[in-house]
Amino acid sequence: MMTRSIALLVLVPLLLMACGSSSPSSTPTAVSTQTVTLAEDGQTITLRVGESFLLKLGEDYTWTPIVDDETIVSRAKGIAVVRGAQGVYDALKVGKTTLTAAGDPVCRQVKPPCGQPSREFEIQIVVQ
């Protein structure tokens, strides 16, 4: 009896998830998350209110990202991100804003520092 109860506890949530994801008319319960990388430099990304994206510009530079209007998109607080990422950003309300990031090469922090130039990154963000 105990084994049957444990099996039901495991199988029922799995079946519910499978049914919910296979229905084309069902509303997703999870917030979709995009990953924005250096490949999107100069582009426009579109989000819906409530969606988020991971800013992952890599480890070769020390990045300082800035969002022009943080009432539209802002960095989520208290979220640890993977190495090489600069944060998770949430779409808060409808509007347009810009995210820029200045990157200084990591090799400038060693002795002697390298002469590699800094890098700029910019995307336009449209929240619908």
| Residue 96 domain-assigned (yes or no) | yes
| Residue 107 domain-assigned (yes or no) | yes
| Residue 26 domain-assigned (yes or no) | no
- 121/81 Cα distance (integer angstroms): 19
| Residue 42 domain-assigned (yes or no) | yes
Instruction: Indicate whether 23 pLDDT > 60.
Output: no
| Residue 20 domain-assigned (yes or no) | no
Q: What's the pLDDT score for residue 33? A: 79
| Residue 12 domain-assigned (yes or no) | no
Q: How many CB atoms sit inside 10 A of residue 97's CB?
A: 18
pLDDT per position as a tens digit, 29-81:
345 679 999 999 999 999 999 999 999 999 999 999 999 999 999 999 999 99
Note the pTM of the prediction, 2 decimals.
0.73
Q: Record the tokens describing residue 29, joined without a space.
A: 């319960």
pLDDT per position as a tens digit, 72-116:
999 999 999 999 999 999 999 999 999 999 999 999 988 999 999
pLDDT per position as a tens digit, 5-17:
433 344 344 333 4
Q: What's the pLDDT score for residue 32? A: 60
Q: Specify the number of domains making up the chain.
A: 1
User: What are the b/e assignments for 50-62, b being 16+ CB within 10 Å?
Assistant: ebbbbbbbeeebe
Q: What's the pLDDT score for residue 104? A: 96
| Residue 4 domain-assigned (yes or no) | no
| Residue 80 domain-assigned (yes or no) | yes
**36: containing domain:** 31-127
Which CATH number characterizes residue 93's domain?
2.60.40.2020
